[in-house]
A and B are shown apart, each in its own frame.
Chain A
Amino acid sequence: MSKKLRELKVGATVEIVSISGSQRFLSRITSIGLTIGSEIRIMSNRKKQPILVYGRDTLIAVNRDESEHILVKEMLK
Chain B
Amino acid sequence: MNRSLNCTSGTIALLSQPNVGKSTLFNGLTGSKQHVGNWPGKTVEKKEGSFSYNDMNYLIVDLPGSYSLSANSDEEIVTRDYIADDKCDMVCIMADATQLERSLFMLADYCGINKSAILVLNMMDVAKKQGKDIDVESLSNKLGIPVIAMSAAYKNDYAQLYSIIEQSLDSPKILSDSSLTKVYESYLGDIFNKVRSTFKNIDTGIYSKSWLTSKLIEKDLAVIDFVKDILNEDEVNKLNSFLNGIEGGNLQTGECKFRWINDLITDTVIYKSSQDDFKLNILDQLMTRPFMGKFLSILSLIIGLVMSVIIGMPIMTIGLSIPDTSKFIHSILDQIGAPIWFISLFADALVAALGYTIAMAGLVLGITFVFGFLEELGFMARVSYAFDNVFSKMGLQGKSIMPLMVSFGCNMGGAYSCRVIDTWGQKTLTIALAWAIPCMGCWGVIGLLSSIFFGSSTLMIIGSLFMVIVFHIWLTAKIFKPKLIPDANNAGLIMELPPYHKPKWGSLLRFVFSRFLNVFWKAFKMVSIITVIVWLMSGMGSGNIENTILYKFGKALEPISSVFGMRWQMFLAWFTSVMGKEATLGVFSALFTSSNGIFVTETMATGTSNSLINAISMSVTKPEALAFIFAFTFNIPCLMTVSSTNTEIHSMKWTLIISIYYVVSALIYAFIAYHIGMMIW
The reply on B388 being an interface residue by CB < 8 A is yes
Contacts of B68 in A (CB 8 A): 27, 30-31
Whether A24 and B72, one on each chain, are in contact in the complex, defined by CB atoms closer than 8 angstroms, is: yes
Indicate with 1 or 0, residue by residue over B484-507, a CB within 8 angstroms of chain A CB atoms. Answer: 000011011111111100000000
The reply on B33 being an interface residue by CB < 8 A is no
The tally of residues in A whose CB lies under 8 Å from a CB in B reads 39
Nearest CB of chain B from residue A43's CB, rounded to whole Å: 6
Whether B496 and A20, one on each chain, are in contact in the complex, defined by CB atoms closer than 8 angstroms, is: no
Chain A: which residue is nearest B392 at the CB level? A63
Chain B residues 231 to 272 lying within 8 A of chain A, measured CB to CB, are 248, 250-251, 253-255, 258
Interface contact tally, CB-CB below 8 A: 134
Contacts of B105 in A (CB 8 A): 31, 33
The reply on B101 being an interface residue by CB < 8 A is yes
Q: Choose from B101, B251, B385, B491 the contact partner of A61 (Cβ within 8 Å).
A: B385
Indicate with 1 or 0, residue by residue over A19-51, a CB within 8 angstroms of chain B CB atoms. Answer: 110111111111111011110010110111110
Known: A38-B258, A63-B494, A66-B492. A43 touches B280 (CB 8 A): yes
Contacts of A63 in B (CB 8 A): 388, 392, 492-494
The reply on B647 being an interface residue by CB < 8 A is no
The segment out of B285-293, B426-434, B441-449, B636-644 that lies at the interface is: B285-293
Chain B: which residue is nearest A44 at the CB level? B288
Interface size grouping (class) on chain B: 35 or more
The reply on A57 being an interface residue by CB < 8 A is yes
Q: How far is the CA of A28 from the CA of B392 in the complex (A)?
A: 17
Whether B494 and A61, one on each chain, are in contact in the complex, defined by CB atoms closer than 8 angstroms, is: yes
Whether A62 and B494, one on each chain, are in contact in the complex, defined by CB atoms closer than 8 angstroms, is: yes
Whether B250 and A49, one on each chain, are in contact in the complex, defined by CB atoms closer than 8 angstroms, is: no
Q: How far is the CA of A47 from the CA of B98 in the complex (A)?
A: 31
Q: How far is the CA of A25 from the CA of B493 in the complex (A)?
A: 10
Known: A26-B248, A31-B109, A57-B100. A49 touches B492 (CB 8 A): no
Contacts of A33 in B (CB 8 A): 101-102, 105, 258
Which B positions have Cβ atoms within 8 angstroms of A?
A: 17, 67-68, 70, 72, 98-102, 105, 109, 218-219, 248, 250-251, 253-255, 258, 278, 280, 284, 288-290, 293, 385-386, 388-389, 392, 488-489, 491-499
Q: Beyond A31-B17, A46-B289, A58-B101: 12 further Cβ-contacts under 8 Å? A: A28-B494, A29-B494, A36-B255, A44-B288, A47-B290, A48-B389, A50-B388, A59-B497, A62-B494, A63-B388, A65-B492, A66-B493
Sampled A-B contacts (21; CB under 8 Å): A19-B248, A20-B248, A26-B248, A27-B218, A28-B491, A30-B254, A32-B67, A32-B494, A32-B496, A35-B251, A49-B288, A52-B280, A58-B102, A59-B284, A61-B494, A61-B496, A62-B492, A63-B493, A63-B494, A65-B492, A66-B493
